[in-house]
């Protein structure tokens, strides 16, 4: 005759664990507060005249809910980045800096975690580019507070990280080089700035017919790069070269009537000359 063993504490632990898992699955299937808050924040941000106070209120509520999933969860980082971006759009750069800094740290941890898990190179590369994007956003905020040296450090770090993915010619790399060149111009490092502008322009020329490149992003980076380089040339007594570059921009983009092009073509007429390097 077999003996029926009493149900000890491990039985009840297993039973409670099973019940807990069922509750978690049910809760996950139902619409969460995080989803509700995120959706509401997006609605306010997408409005023609963004309602920043309402959007920020719902983003902070969503961030609180996302923290329940853990700070390494993608939802937490995405919401943190959205909140940082909101502050950037409001020109509240000092409030945006700690948020972007935290997002940078979380992105770095995510890349390290993927490498430890021996994830695919494609997954690692995608996460790495997000890390670099956060660094670029952080650098933009430093520029907004006139901390140009810190901005250059962040841009340089981003470029170095991209080097770890190989020497692929990406639009992201061209944009970083162009932004770093802008900072070098402000710091009076004109020769370094020129080299970076030329490097970025070469990458953009190669990407002109690449079907994988988003055309709007390509045009935006191209316009910024060529106009800023033209400004540097014209402001250092090389007006003819600056004009030629503006003409090249119109030709390259195929947008002769582009408002930004026309506006900036005349913006340098009374441009204040920059001092020569070292003066």
- Give the pLDDT confidence score for residue 49 in this predicted structure: 60
Nearest to 75 by CA among 101, 106, 112, 45: 106
- Give the pLDDT confidence score for residue 256 in this predicted structure: 53
User: What's the angle, vertex CA 56, arms to CA 50 and CA 59, rounded to 5?
Assistant: 115
Rg (Cα) of the chain, in Å, rounded?
25
Nearest to 271 by CA among 235, 247, 246: 235
Does pLDDT of 144 surpass 90?
yes
- Give the pLDDT confidence score for residue 141 in this predicted structure: 96
What does the pLDDT look like over 152-201, one tens digit per residue?
Answer: 999 999 999 999 888 776 899 999 999 999 999 999 999 999 999 999 98
- Give the pLDDT confidence score for residue 50 in this predicted structure: 65
Nearest to 141 by CA among 151, 155, 132: 151
Please name the residues in contact with 146: beta carbons below 8 A apart, sequence gap of 6 or more.
none
How far is residue 55's CA from residue 131's CA, in Å, rounded to a whole number? 24
- Give the pLDDT confidence score for residue 253 in this predicted structure: 62
Classify 145 as helix, strand or coil.
coil
What does the pLDDT look like over 27-38, one tens digit per residue?
Answer: 443 348 888 888
Tokens of 210: 């690449």
Query: Which residue carries 């692929």 as its tokens?
Result: 168
What does the pLDDT look like over 90-106, one tens digit per residue?
Answer: 899 999 999 999 999 99
How far is residue 38's CA from residue 172's CA, in Å, rounded to a whole number? 27
- Give the pLDDT confidence score for residue 185 in this predicted structure: 94
Sequence spans of domains, the chain: 33-168, 174-279
**Range 242-267 average pLDDT:** 59
How far is residue 155's CA from residue 196's CA, in Å, rounded to a whole number? 12
Compute the half-sphere exposure of residue 215: CA atoms within 13 Å on the CB side of its CA: 6
Among 121-130, 207-216, 250-259, name the most confident range.
121-130
Tokens of 160: 């170095």
Alpha helices in 236-265 (DSSP H): 239-253, 259-265
Correct CATH for 33-168 of 3.40.50.300, 1.20.1440.130, 1.25.40.10, 3.30.1360.40: 1.25.40.10
Query: Which residue carries 């400004």 as its tokens?
Result: 231
Provide the sign of the torsion angle of the four alpha carbons 255, 261, 262, 268, taken in this order.
negative
| Torsion on CA atoms 9, 14, 16, 17, rounded to nearest 10 | 140
- What integer best gives the mean pLDDT of the chain? 80
Please name the residues in contact with 106: beta carbons below 8 A apart, sequence gap of 6 or more.
71, 72, 76, 77, 80
């Amino acid at each position: 005759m077999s003996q029926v063993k009493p149900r000890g504490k491990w039985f009840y632990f297993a039973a409670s664990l099973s019940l807990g898992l069922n509750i978690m699955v049910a809760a996950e299937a139902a619409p969460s507060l995080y989803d509700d808050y995120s959706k509401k924040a997006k609605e306010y941000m997408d409005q023609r005249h963004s309602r920043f106070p309402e959007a920020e209120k719902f983003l902070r509520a969503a961030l609180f809910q996302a923290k329940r999933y853990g700070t390494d969860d993608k939802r937490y980082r995405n919401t943190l980045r959205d909140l940082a971006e909101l502050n950037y759009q409001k020109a509240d750069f000092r409030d945006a800096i700690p948020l972007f800094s935290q997002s940078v740290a979380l992105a770095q941890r995510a890349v390290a975690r993927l490498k430890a898990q021996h994830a695919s190179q494609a997954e690692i590369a995608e996460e790495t580019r997000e890390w670099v994007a956060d660094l670029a956003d952080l650098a933009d905020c430093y520029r907004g507070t006139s901390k140009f040296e810190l901005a250059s450090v962040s841009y340089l770090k981003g470029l170095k990280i991209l080097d770890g993915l190989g020497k692929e010619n990406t639009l992201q790399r061209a944009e970083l080089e162009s932004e770093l060149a802008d900072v070098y111009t402000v710091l009076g490092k004109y020769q370094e700035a020129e080299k970076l502008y030329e490097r970025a322009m070469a990458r953009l020329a190669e990407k002109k017919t690449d079907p994988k490149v988003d055309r709007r992003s390509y045009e935006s980076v191209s316009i910024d790069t060529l106009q800023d380089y033209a400004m540097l040339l014209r402001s250092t007594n090389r007006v003819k070269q600056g004009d030629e570059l503006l003409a090249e921009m119109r030709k390259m983009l195929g947008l002769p009537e582009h408002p930004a092009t026309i506006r900036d073509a005349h913006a340098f007429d009374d441009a204040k000359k920059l001092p020569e390097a070292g003066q």
